[in-house]
Amino acid sequence: MNKKLLALAIAGTLASPMAVADVAVSGSIRVALSGAQTAAGGTDWGVKDGTSRLRFKASEDLGNGQSAFANYEFRVDAGKGSWVVGNTQRVTEVGIKGGWGRLGMGSQWSTLWGAVGTHIDLSNVYGGGAYLGQYRMNHSIKYSTNMGAMGLSVDAQMIPGTDDDIDKSTVGLTGSMGAIGYGVAWQNRAASGDYTGVGVGVKMGDLKVNAAWEDVDGVDTSTNVNIGRIGGVLLAYGKKDSGTGAFWANYHHKISKSVTTRIEVRAQEDANAASIILRKEF
């Protein structure tokens, strides 16, 4: 009898974390057959990873309409069959949320991405070349909330060991008016010029048009526009003032609820490229 009680006590101890928190495991395997134009004018083909990742999400009910959350996301090179180490800019955050908003700390989706970047880069491979903002912001603290039809987000990046306590600080607003969605953001950058960006999206039936303008004081300016899907194809163009413009397009074919093939091409001076991606979500 004592052995049975001991076994029950051990099992209860091991199971106790699951009793207070819900943990979900998910991820995405993305492998591409890619070809890129070489300096000699030929084409270099290869099978490579398309930013595969493994994700753990945990949440806990704190009562009074509040909950704690945590996200761990790890970068995987599915083409090589290995972990990707170093500063991979994946989401690794912990925080609390409730009716008052959401407060997170760690490596998070940046305010710039939520307000402006989502109007620019809808690609799988080639669409971010003219984006001047951040995707994820590491070493950050971020607060976001809704004020009726408008969303407010503020963040700060505080990298240890730099000369500035706050390396970047951002404020962004998002909202919608009928079929029009918009986002504006401003970021103070201690090491370079301040960022200003505006993004707008207009939905017309099954067709959506997005456009954005960005400027970094004394550094660069960019314009981006994309339209789709026309027959399943998304068409886009992006250009920085400092470089050549790039046209890109992609097409999604859904095989099942979690499996898709995606074809994406880029037309740019001396940098033409194409990829065929097989992608499985889990």
Average pLDDT of the segment spanning 53-59: 97
pLDDT for residue 103: 98
- What's the whole-number mean pLDDT along residues 182-192? 95
Averaged pLDDT score across all residues of the chain: 91
DSSP per residue, the chain: -HHHHHHHHHHHHHHHHHHH-EEEEEEEEEEEEEEEE-TTS-EEEEEEE--EEEEEEEEEEEETTEEEEEEEEEEEETTTTEE--S-----EEEEEEETTEEEEEEEEE-HHHHHTGGGT---SSSTTTT--S-SEEEEEEEEEEEETTEEEEEEEE--TTSS-S-SEEEEEEEEEETTEEEEEEEEEESSS--EEEEEEEEEETTEEEEEEEEEETTTEEEEEEEEEEETTEEEEEEEETTS--EEEEEEEEESSSSEEEEEEEEE-TT--EEEEEEEEE-
How many percent of the chain have pLDDT more than 90?
81
Q: Residue range 187-203: average pLDDT?
A: 96
Q: How far apart are CA 264 and CA 277, in angstroms?
A: 8
- Does the pLDDT at position 166 exceed 70? yes
Q: pLDDT band at 57, cuts 50/70/90?
A: very high
Per-residue pLDDT of 214-261, as tens digits, reads 999 999 999 999 999 988 999 999 999 999 999 999 999 999 999 999
What is the domain class of 23-281 according to CATH?
A: mainly beta
pLDDT of residue 89: 82
Domain boundaries, the chain: 23-281
